[in-house]
Structure 1
Amino acid sequence: MAPFSSLPSMELRLGRRELLLGTAAAGFALAVRPVAASTVTTPDRGLMAGWVSVPAADGPVKAYRARPAKGSGFPVVLVVQEIFGVHAYIQDVCRRLAQLGYLAIAPSLFDRQGDVTVLPDIAAILPLVATVPDAQVMADLDATAAWVAASGEGDVARLGITGFCWGGRITWLYAAHNPKLKAGVAWYGRLVGTASERQPLFPIDLIAKLKAPVLGLYAGNDDGIPTESVQRMQAALKAAGSPSRIEVFPGAPHGFHADYRPTYRAAAAAAGWTQMQAWFRTNGVV
């Protein structure tokens, strides 16, 4: 499987130029505009990419799915959104993974509560996201994996998960939830927090229950996730003899992989992406 960096540089430059001209900005959540010139647009040439409907207990869930256009039985990666929903960046992450030979699918996990992509700012988004129960999210991720299995497009015996920010926490939770998961990669998700009825547990509470190894990719200069909480998690993983581990990128801010935002740090993002691929290969998501 070719690395993402091998994609034709001309196509990436064209993608950035289109964004600068405003032709692609419509795909991004309202709260994140204007998008940065560093935004990458991954081509869908050679892919089957677009929205699908996933049957779930409480009604269908829409999901963005990308996979190679030819073949079947691809290794599967569940992609878990940030608080901004399954907007253009998360869709692009799916295409990047598909270009590597995966079936990547991102279910829209807030839709029952509302459409966060049309909300104007984080202040409007956070109250809605707070109403999303972890149990609902776990069930929808299970339903998404079941849809992939039924479709025949992907091989869920080689199932991985990766998530960003809000989705980083969910990645840890899902690794404690699904015994069939092979591996997870959590990008700067909260590790500790105040329990509530909808969000009763945090990753720090679940170390002994992890059913798959998780690689945590965290920022050394994160204004939302205290360094102390990362160190606590690292120490707890070590004390438990867990195969999971955390990599910290010194000086990087929260959201360092999000190329559409000012927090993007190309070197840290590329290094994290490389580590994610290696983690999946090592743990059977290949």
Structure 2
Amino acid sequence: MNETAELESLLPAARLTRRDFIVTATAAGFALAVQPVSAQTMIHTDELGLRTGDATVDTGSGELPVYFAAPAEGKALPTVLVVQEIFGVHEHIRDLCRRLAKAGYLAIAPELYFRQGDARKYDNIADLLADLVAKVPDAQVLSDLDKTAAWAPTQGGDPGRLAITGFCWGGRITWLYAAHNPALKAAVAWYGRLDGVPSDLHPHHPLDLVDEIKAPVLGLYGAQDQGIPVDDVEAMRSAMAKAHKAFDIIIYPDAGHAFNADYRPSYREGPARDGWKRMLAWLRQHGV
């Protein structure tokens, strides 16, 4: 199968109507803050040939809810931790897990706000950010990802082939986790913030931790992103090169933030498909 045909098989053409999306998303706890929906581009990946479900992971300080998807058959599966956007593990994040499962991965998306609150209860982004997201400590998130990785073998995951990918809020976490876990084989950060003002709960940003990064990182960014300046992306590129780290950074000239979010008007099909193809190639290049 050539790359184009493979990509088409992993990004199914099925689309949801707006009504179907609302029914599905409501059942999955999708936050209304992300409306309006772009019904023409919403991608739905079926569960045919997959094993999917909701579970909990014992963290020692609470039961962490997770969604997982994996091929129905197979053992010692390469594992990808999928880190949510600011809106939690809604239907789009679940769909991304199913897409990865169709490519042969055990994909696990943990609900990383579960101690602080429920993103489903917010109806505007400002309150969500201030009242919930800003109160989630980085140290807690990294620990919960460690617990999720340790749980993965109970679902057939291979602990020697661990990767992470994240989107928006999760893109920043992806960079942090690449600096945190020495067992990580590869990371793919989609439009994750790289710099910012430190705080007690968020003491470091990716640009502060370049020397500590332990895994090869692919960064996928949009030149039109209003929240992540291209200067920051270029600064990360320069810092990673200077530190002799394994990395690649792609900047899509006509894309803004959340260009892979096919349920929102920010979606850009060309960069999204290219980014997905590059992600799969990156994982395989680095043994995941």
Same fold per superposition (TM over 0.5): yes
- C-alpha displacement at 1:143, in angstroms? 0.3
Quick one: which of 123, 148, 151 aligns to 1:147? 151
Alignment deviations for residues 53-74 of structure 1 (CA, whole Å, 9 cap, x no partner) = 1110211100000001112211
8 Å CA contact retained: 2:179, 2:214: yes
Indicate the residue corresponding to 2:277 in structure 1. 274
Instruction: Please state whether the residue corresponding to 2:253 is helix, strand or coil.
Output: strand
**Residue 262, structure 1, aligned to residue 265, structure 2:** yes
State the distance in 2 between where 1:86 and 1:101 align. Answer: 21
**Residue 227, structure 1, aligned to residue 230, structure 2:** yes
**Unmatched tracts of structure 1, length 5 or more:** none
State the distance in 1 between where 2:234 and 2:252 align. Answer: 13
Name the amino acid aligned to 2:23. Answer: T
**Residue 80, structure 1, aligned to residue 100, structure 2:** no
- C-alpha displacement at 1:21, in angstroms? 6.9
State the distance in 1 between where 2:87 and 2:22 align. Answer: 19
Alignment deviations for residues 32-52 of structure 1 (CA, whole Å, 9 cap, x no partner) = 134211110100111111111
Map 1:1-286 → 2, pairs under 5 A: 3-6=6-9, 12-13=13-14, 15-17=15-17, 19=19, 22-26=22-26, 27=28, 28-37=30-39, 38-127=41-130, 128-149=132-153, 151-285=154-288
Q: RMSD in angstroms over aligned alpha carbons?
A: 1.7
8 Å CA contact retained: 1:237, 1:245: no
**Unmatched tracts of structure 2, length 5 or more:** none
8 Å CA contact retained: 1:31, 1:118: no
State the distance in 1 between where 2:79 and 2:95 align. Answer: 16
- C-alpha displacement at 1:23, in angstroms? 3.3
Name the amino acid aligned to 1:23. Answer: V
8 Å CA contact retained: 2:36, 2:265: no
State the distance in 2 between where 1:207 and 1:244 align. Answer: 11
What is the number of residues matched between the two proteins? Answer: 281
State the distance in 2 between where 1:169 and 1:181 align. Answer: 16
State the distance in 2 between where 1:257 and 1:21 align. Answer: 17
8 Å CA contact retained: 2:223, 2:251: yes
- Percent of pairs with identical residues: 53
State the distance in 2 between where 1:200 and 1:245 align. Answer: 25
- C-alpha displacement at 1:4, in angstroms? 4.7
Per the normalisation by structure 1, the TM-score is 0.94
Name the amino acid aligned to 1:210. Answer: I
Q: Which moved more, 1:162-171 or 1:240-249?
A: 240-249
8 Å CA contact retained: 2:81, 2:163: yes
8 Å CA contact retained: 1:167, 1:189: yes
- C-alpha displacement at 1:31, in angstroms? 1.0
State the distance in 1 between where 2:35 and 2:234 align. Answer: 33
8 Å CA contact retained: 1:182, 1:283: yes
Name the amino acid aligned to 2:133. Answer: V
8 Å CA contact retained: 1:219, 1:248: yes
- C-alpha displacement at 1:25, in angstroms? 3.6
Instruction: Please state whether the residue corresponding to 1:79 is helix, strand or coil.
Output: strand
